[in-house]
Amino acid sequence: MGKKTKVAIAIAAASAAAWAGSKALSKPQKRSDKDALQYDHPIVLAHRGGSHLAPEHTMAAFRKAAELGVHGFEIDIRLTKDEEIIVFHDEYVDRTCDGSGRVADLTLEELQLLNFGYNFVDLDGYLPYREAKQSIVTLRSLLEEFPQMLVNIDMKDAPDTYEGGLMPSKLWRLIEELGVENRVVVTSFFDEQIDRFNLYAQNKVALGAGQGEVKKAYTSFTSQFGHLYHPKVDVFQIPSKFGVFALDNANFIRFLENLNIPVHYWTINDVSTMEQLLAAGAKGIVTDRPDLAVELLNE
């Protein structure tokens, strides 16, 4: 037996021993049940209220989606200049309304003067909300108007900004005041924001995965050391692909399910992809076309 062969065998043996040792010492810790995630069938979450059917993040969209029979909403939130939490995605208001400016530089009163349906084009190419003004929606008003809905809340303000620094505590205080701990999920692309929020919430609210958590889980899944992954969140709301990585893998879904973590996919707007994801084990579809998703689940 040559020297190189002996070295290779020794390395393989050491790797196997390390794997066996870590397997014996580390037991995967399932996440505890969260009331917001207790459902026995796949669910439909209207993305920004269903932004292909009505202006995104407006009451027109949320009401239309509710009438269709969705199980909840997927929304984004930002903080205004006067520290009000509004339901809005972009840093600037220009794209969706008849005004301009950065959300954090505008007060709620200033935002309420704008029409957030101004630039919406419907499926037929019309501008039906240009004359029918759609006002900005606050998170408080959304949670109060739809007490039956699950609401997935994505904190958009970056943690290194003034508004981002305030958001986790502001959001927790509102959730606690309204008593909606059991029907919201709180997440962010920034894992740091989720951690900050949970310093206040203390695991009383279901948490969604940030980008760092998704990377960590997928890396663990594709390695031989999946048993070393200890999740910090309760649900994965993810795209079907993340860079070069395919996340719509039935085995990956099963890996997370074994940790009591359901998987929701965004933003899925065609029926064939919805069917494929549901067949793979997805527990939720986040969509701009809630009409299509609800019809599919009702078949």
- Rounded alpha-carbon distances, angstroms, from residue 123 to 66, 88, 292: 19, 22, 13
Q: Among candidates 88, 61, 77, 84, which has minimal Cα distance to 154?
A: 77
pLDDT for position 254:
97
Q: Which amino acid is at 114?
A: L
Q: Among candidates 210, 163, 154, which has minimal Cα distance to 184?
A: 154
How much is the pTM?
0.90
Q: Among candidates 272, 269, 266, which has minimal Cα distance to 53?
A: 269
pLDDT for position 28:
64
Bridge partners (DSSP) of residue 261 are none
DSSP string, 43-79: EEEEETTTTTTS-TTSHHHHHHHHHHT-SEEEEEEEE
Strand ranges inside 93-235, DSSP E: 150-155, 184-187, 206-207
Q: How much of the chain is in helix, strand and coil states, percent to nearest 5? A: 40, 15, 45
pLDDT for position 8:
42
pLDDT for position 3:
53
- What's the average model confidence in pLDDT over 86-107? 97
pLDDT for position 103:
98
- Rounded alpha-carbon distances, angstroms, from residue 94 to 26, 89, 118, 191, 292: 50, 12, 10, 28, 29
3-state SS string for 212-241: HHHHHHHHHHHCCCHHHCCCCCCEEEECCE
Mean pLDDT of the chain: 92
Are 48 and 61 within 8 A, CB to CB? yes
163-212 confidence digits (pLDDT tens): 999 999 999 999 999 999 999 999 999 999 999 999 999 999 999 999 99
Distance (Å, rounded) from C-alpha 125 to C-alpha 94?
Answer: 20
In the chain, % of residues over pLDDT 90: 85
72-79/150-155 β-pairing: parallel
pLDDT for position 10:
39
Are 210 and 191 within 8 A, CB to CB? yes
Confidence category of residue 23, pLDDT binned at 50, 70, 90: very low
- What's the average model confidence in pLDDT over 66-94? 98
Are 265 and 238 within 8 A, CB to CB? yes
Strand ranges inside the chain, DSSP E: 43-47, 72-79, 85-87, 150-155, 184-187, 206-207, 236-238, 241-242, 245-246, 263-265, 284-287
pLDDT for position 1:
53
- What's the average model confidence in pLDDT over 41-67? 98
Q: Right CATH number for 32-91+139-298 from 3.30.390.30, 1.10.8.60, 3.20.20.190, 3.40.1160.10?
A: 3.20.20.190
- What's the average model confidence in pLDDT over 246-252? 95
Confidence category of residue 225, pLDDT binned at 50, 70, 90: confident
Q: Which amino acid is at 232?
A: K
List CB contacts of 36: < 8 A, sequence separation 6 or more: 150, 182, 183, 184, 185, 205, 206
